[in-house]
Amino acid sequence: MSDTPTYPVDARNRVKRRHDRGFYDHATVHGLLDAAALCHVSYVIDGLPYCTPTLFWREDTTLYWHGSSASRMLRNLSDGQPACLTVTHLDSLVLARCGFNHSADYRSVMAFGQARLVTDPAEKRRALVMMVDRFFPHRTGGLRASTEQEIKATAVVSMEIERASAKIRAKGVADDEEDYALPIHAERLPVHTVIGAPEPCPRRLPGVERSADLAAYREGRPLEDALREAYAAAYG
């Protein structure tokens, strides 16, 4: 992972607690971002913090997300506003032999930058395509075209990543050495986020089939694997 470019590190994104868990290289950071559909975006309005869940995607070192032009978050972004976009993959809960060593395995990314409304018509139109096609490759070409009203009603936000850090814990039970001698049960409880059986729309017309482009999304598969595969198909 040291062959790839890295994000600059300063006080804002340096992993201070458990710094052995910190990574700043593009490959690690981007890999964790591209394995997710959901993020949480933080921003400040009138000095107060807000944390909003949203779907997002990455293009090179730029993150995109969207929302209604009427939303609280987006009304404040037209001039560029500092934001922090965070993605977390929860991999396990960890039961240790003392309270202090109870933990969780996880892989997270915090990305910092200036969130901006995408106002250029061509950039916005392309972003609205990728908003769908990044998750479902080549899908937009087969959809009913967007109306001008729909395009107006959808705000797209972009944020060039200025700083980012990944933090990874992946070691399960890690007790103090002397505690392993205690007759206490300890375990790692894995957590998986998976795809269920796809549910075709009950009003789908007869003869309309599911596209082979959706093959990545099948029952029981980890969502992150499907998202990574779709990302590669969309941008590869």
Question: Per CB under 8 A, which of residues 7..66 are in contact with a copy of itself?
Answer: 12, 16-18, 37-38, 40-44, 47-53, 55
Integer distance in angstroms from the first to the last C-alpha of the chain? 20
| Cα maximum dimension of the chain | 68
Joined together, the tokens standing for residue 106 give 């996880």
Rounded to whole angstroms, the Cα distance separating 110 from 127 reads 22
- What is the size of the binding site for a copy of itself (CB under 8 A)? 99
Q: Is 119 in the site for a copy of itself (CB under 8 A)?
A: no
Which residues, 150 to 209, sit near a copy of itself by CB under 8 A?
150, 153-154, 172-173, 175, 179-201, 203-205, 207-209
Q: Hey, is 206 helix, strand or coil?
A: coil
Buried b (16+ CB within 10 A) or exposed e, 184-207: eebebeeeeeebeeeeeeeeeeee
For the chain, the C-alpha Rg in angstroms (whole number) is 21
Q: Is 91 helix (H, G, I), strand (E, B) or coil?
A: strand
Q: Which of 102, 119, 170, 215: binder of a copy of itself (CB under 8 A)?
A: 102
Residue reference for tokens 């976009």: 85
Shorter beta-carbon distance to a copy of itself: residue 69 or 119? 69
Judged by CB under 8 A, the stretch of 1-9, 21-29, 57-65, 137-145 that binds a copy of itself is: 137-145
Among 20, 122, 144, 212, binds a copy of itself (CB under 8 A): 144
Least distance CB 116 / a copy of itself (angstroms) = 15
90 is a contact residue toward a copy of itself (CB under 8 A) = yes
Provide the token pair at 5.
């470019």
Cβ 3 to a copy of itself shortest distance, Å? 28
93 binds a copy of itself (CB under 8 A): yes
Identify which of residues 4 and 49 has a Cβ nearer to a copy of itself in the complex: 49
